Amino acid sequence: MIRIDHCENLIHFTKGEDKSLDYESAYQNLKTIIKTGELKGSNGMILGGHNCVCYTESPVRCLTNKGQLESKYFSRYTPFGLQYCKKDVFRNGGRPVIYSTRDEAEKQRGNADINWRYVSYDPAMDGRLDFTWEREWRIKKDSVPVRPDLVKLVFSSLVWIDRFIEEHEKEYHGVDIEDDCEECYCTREVTIMNFTDFLNNEECENLIGTCPNPDKFPWILINMNEK
């Protein structure tokens, strides 16, 4: 059954250095995560001080508006990130957070089995203590792996996707990313998924590569369609 309030995937959106919302900094942070092969958890605002990796399960319909990025949902993040399958995250211990009052959360402070899931919530505070729009999930781990068989990469637009492909292929062929020699490297076939504003549909397209070998680009890339 198709549900407009539900999606099968979770996305961890990145920030830049020192939690900056600068796109260039967030893009470089994403590249660092990819190169290290792991997404590290943090304990900021986590009851009990546990390291957790956080995601959103907000469906595409909420993240985009008529196919374009909905900026009001990115006041705390940038549209660069990593998409995981919700079933995989759940299977490995990930759970949706519990939005509750601070008093109720405090009662669970010493319960390490569940305290990491609590997020303070009070609708009487006129939005000042309401993060339910994030539809947050967490997994209590120091880090989770980042591999092409587990993750799709999220970018704000095709401009950033094109840049990532070029830089990735240059590095793959041992060419400096600042080198303008287009004949010094080739590109592999790439799969790009374009988010639409209709339910949870995704449109895919393949960019035909120029490399003579049949190898495909290792990552599936997601375009958030920001102009």
Looking at residue 128, what DSSP letter applies? T
Which among 98, 126, 145 is the end of a domain? Answer: 145
Q: Name the H helices within 93-185.
A: 102-106, 158-172
pTM: 0.89
Q: What is the Cα–Cα distance from 45 to 128, expressed in whole angstroms?
A: 15
Residues 86 and 133 in one domain: yes
CB 195 within 8 A of CB 202: yes
Question: How many CB atoms lie under 10 A from the CB of residue 132?
Answer: 11
The residue written with tokens 């009001």 in the block is 72
Which range (69-73, 90-94, 97-101, 194-198) has the least confidence? Answer: 194-198
- Give residue-wise pLDDT tens across range 181-203: 878 888 899 999 887 643 345 55
Beta bridge partners of 12: 82
Number of domains the chain contains: 2
In a domain? residue 75: yes
Q: What is the Cα–Cα distance from 81 to 90, expressed in whole angstroms?
A: 19
Beta bridge partners of 81: 13, 154
Which among 122, 145, 168 is the end of a domain? Answer: 145
Tokens of 138: 């967490």
Residues 91 and 203 in one domain: no
Higher pLDDT, 184 or 10: 10
Q: What is the Cα–Cα distance from 227 to 224, expressed in whole angstroms?
A: 9
CB 153 within 8 A of CB 163: no
CB 168 within 8 A of CB 217: yes
Residues 165 and 121 in one domain: no
Tokens of 37: 């092969």
Higher pLDDT, 62 or 54: 54
CB 102 within 8 A of CB 21: no
Residue 133's pLDDT is: 83
The listed range with the strongest mean pLDDT (50-64, 141-155, 164-178) is 141-155
SS3 state of residue 127: coil
Residues 113 and 218 in one domain: no
**pLDDT value at 60 more than 60:** yes
Q: Are strands 190-195 and 221-223 parallel, antiparallel or unpaired?
A: parallel
CB 206 within 8 A of CB 61: no
Looking at residue 8, what DSSP letter applies? S
Q: What is the Cα–Cα distance from 172 to 184, expressed in whole angstroms?
A: 11
Residue 208's pLDDT is: 67
CB 186 within 8 A of CB 165: no
Higher pLDDT, 40 or 184: 40
Residues 129 and 159 in one domain: no
Q: Which domain holds residue 98?
A: 9-145
**pLDDT value at 13 more than 70:** yes
Higher pLDDT, 65 or 158: 158
